[in-house]
Amino acid sequence: MTQSALRHDWTQAEVLALFQQPFNDLLFQAQSVHRQHFDPNRVQVSTLLSIKTGACPEDCKYCPQSGHYNTGLDKEKLMEVQKVLDEAARAKAIGATRFCMGAAWKHPSDKDMPYVLQMVRGVRALGLETCMTLGKLTREQTAALAEAGLDYYNHNLDTSPEFYGNIITTRTYSDRLQTLAYVRDAGMKICSGGILGMGESLQDRAGLLIQLANLPEHPESVPINMLVKVKGTPLAEEQDVDPFDFIRTLAVARIMMPKSHVRLSAGREQMNDQTQALAFFAGANSIFYGDKLLTTANPQADRDMLLFQRLGIKPEEREEHDDEVHQAAIEQALVEQRDSALFVNAAV
C-alpha cells in the first residue's frame, strides 16, 4: 500500500464507530491490519535523551518542564555536544536503533542551532537514526536540520483542536501544523502523536487521530502517551485512563495509519506486563526505553527485554540509510570533532 493509497479522509462518525466496536472485534481488526504491513513480533526501540531540561516558556499543563509550574525539576542548560554523542554511543551499545534528543524550548535560537546540527551529524555518524524535538521551527531551521541528516522531527499535536486550548495557551494548533508542514516539505520523517488522560472526551481522542491520519502523509511514527501525573502540574489530579480505553486508542491508530509505527510511549512504566502485551497485540510496535536508561543501571530496560523474551518479540533492525549519505555524515562529524572550541562552549 503506497502513501497515496492510504486513507486521509477519515470522518468523526467512522472513527467513533471504530472505537465503539466490541473490544475483541477491534483488536482482531487492528491485529489483522498490523500483520499486513509489519512483522507482528518486532518492536522498534528508541532512546530518549533530554539535551536541555526545564524552564520552558510554554505552559503545557501536563509537563514538568514548563517554567509556569513548580515541580522541583532540576533545570539543565543545553548539553555539550560530546556528552550527547557519548550517551548516543551507550544507547547504541545496548540495542537502541534510534536516538531522540529533546530540548525544552519554545523554539531553538540561532545561537543554539550550530550545536544542535553537530549533534545530528555526530549521532548519525554513529549509525543511529536521529530524531529531535526542539519546538516550533522556521522554514530555514527545518532545512538546516534536514541538510544535517536529521531523520525524524517529533512535534506532537497532543489532543484534538477543540480541546487544545484547555491544555496549552502559549501556542496554537495551527502553529503546530505549520511546523509539521515545514518538516514534511524538507523531506524529513514526522513523529507526532498525543496524550490520553488529560480530561479529554472520546470525541477528542478521535479528533486527534483524525488530525494525524488526515495529514497529506501519515506521520511515520505516532506516539500515544498515557499522562504521567506530576505533582505541581495542573493535571496532577486527573483521573486515570481505563487501560482498555488506552488499548482501544492504540488499535484505532493502527487501523487508521496502517504503515506508521505506533509507539507505546510515556506512561508505559506504570503499565503492567499484561497491558503492554495487549498494546503490542493492538498494533503498537515501537517503545521508548526512556532517558533513565542513560543515567541509571536501568532496571526498566531489563524488564523490557524480559517482557520481549516472554512474548517472543525481537527489537526491529534499523532502517538502512543510503551509504553515501551515511559516509558523508561520518566525515563531517570527524571534521567537527577536531574543532574542540565548539565542543567546550556548547552549553548556553
State the pairing for strand pair 221-226/261-264.
parallel
Task: Answer yes or no: 254 catalytic.
Answer: no
Minimum distance from CB of 104 to ligand SF4 (Å)? 4
Q: Let me know: does 135 contact 105? Beta carbons within 8 Å.
A: yes
Q: Per the residue annotation, which of 98, 100, 171, 248 is the catalytic one?
A: 100
> Annotated binding site for [4Fe-4S] cluster: which residue ranges?
56, 60, 63
Residue with Cβ nearer ligand SF4 (65 or 192): 65
Task: Answer yes or no: 318 catalytic.
Answer: no
Q: Per the residue annotation, which of 171, 205, 263, 268 is the catalytic one?
A: 263
The footprint of ligand SF4 (CB under 6 A) covers 56, 58, 60, 63, 65-66, 104, 135
> Annotated binding site: which residue ranges?
56, 60, 63, 100, 131, 191, 263
Q: Per the residue annotation, which of 98, 121, 171, 191 is the catalytic one?
A: 191
Minimum distance from CB of 276 to ligand SF4 (Å)? 24
Minimum distance from CB of 169 to ligand SF4 (Å)? 11
> Annotated binding site for [2Fe-2S] cluster: which residue ranges?
100, 131, 191, 263
Task: Answer yes or no: 191 catalytic.
Answer: yes
Minimum distance from CB of 64 to ligand SF4 (Å)? 8
Task: Answer yes or no: 263 catalytic.
Answer: yes
Q: In whole angstroms, what is the distance from residue 296 CA to residue 327 CA? A: 32
Task: Answer yes or no: 42 catalytic.
Answer: no
Q: In whole angstroms, what is the distance from residue 280 CA to residue 331 CA? A: 39
Residue with Cβ nearer ligand SF4 (56 or 132): 56
Q: Per the residue annotation, which of 121, 131, 171, 205 is the catalytic one?
A: 131
Residue with Cβ nearer ligand SF4 (60 or 255): 60
Active site residue ranges? 56, 60, 63, 100, 131, 191, 263
